[in-house]
């Protein structure tokens, strides 16, 4: 998948900074897995009781340099949610490669709580530990949406996607794609480890705002 962009040359990351960021990701993801294990165990049981299907939802996403990986999330929708998507929206008629369905009928009872608390994203600590994601970075996006990106929009793939990031703490479901990418580009162009910590601190309150994480 092509990721070349005339904007990408403007952003340079120091190897030592990236090495420290990776070390923080490893420590943070291990800590996150250990600390959230009891919660993840309870969530697993509730998902099994609430609806049929696997506990973990695995979906193809696009990561750094346009490489495809499989993201892990707690299943928050019915088992055949992907098949039912075409009954809700026509993906070929989207004005731009982004969408958010309000009151999605595919979401389960447990799924509503998981999405509201963002607990459905806890398994992504495994993606971070594997090196496919970072604790902080651009939003990981589905492959079928990325196929419609322009070369300029692909600048977001020069960094690993993050569990949280500038869009998650500042964006809304209605925010257009270019506005999201502007937030991510500003984050990458002015990147610092301190900025990552600031975003992580702001993530918790943003979860409980209607205009925050989603």
- Listed by start position, the domains of the chain span 27-207
Rounded distance between C-alpha atoms, residue 198 and residue 148, angstroms:
32
Least confident window among 4-13, 30-39, 68-77, 113-122: 4-13
Task: Note the pTM of the prediction, 2 decimals.
Answer: 0.87
Rounded distance between C-alpha atoms, residue 33 and residue 27, angstroms:
10
Main-chain dihedrals φ then ψ at residue 34, nearest 5 degrees: -65, -45
Neighbours of 92 (CB within 10 A): 7
- Please give the structure tokens belonging to residue 13: 């990351």
pLDDT tens per residue, range 110-163: 999 999 899 999 999 999 999 999 999 999 998 888 888 888 888 889 999 999
Main-chain dihedrals φ then ψ at residue 156, nearest 5 degrees: -65, -15
């Amino acid at each position: 998948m092509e990721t070349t962009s005339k904007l990408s040359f403007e952003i340079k990351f120091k190897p030592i900074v990236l090495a420290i960021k990776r070390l923080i990701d490893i420590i943070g993801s291990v800590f996150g897995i250990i600390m959230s294990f009891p919660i993840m165990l309870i969530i697993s049981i509730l998902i099994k009781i609430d609806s049929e299907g696997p506990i973990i939802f695995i979906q193809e996403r696009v990561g750094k340099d346009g490489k495809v990986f499989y993201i892990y999330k707690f299943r928050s929708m019915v088992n055949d949610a992907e098949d039912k998507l075409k009954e809700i929206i026509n993906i070929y008629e989207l004005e731009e490669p982004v969408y958010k369905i309000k009151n999605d009928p595919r979401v389960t009872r447990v799924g509503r709580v998981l999405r509201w608390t963002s607990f459905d994203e806890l398994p992504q600590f495994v993606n971070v530990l594997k090196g496919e994601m970072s604790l902080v970075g651009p939003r990981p996006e589905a492959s079928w949406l990325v196929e419609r990106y322009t070369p300029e929009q692909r600048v977001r793939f020069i960094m690993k996607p993050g569990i949280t990031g500038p869009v998650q703490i500042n964006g809304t479901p209605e925010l257009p794609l270019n506005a999201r990418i502007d937030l991510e580009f500003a984050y990458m162009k002015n990147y610092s480890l301190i900025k990552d910590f600031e975003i992580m601190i702001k993530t918790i309150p943003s979860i409980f705002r209607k205009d925050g994480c989603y």
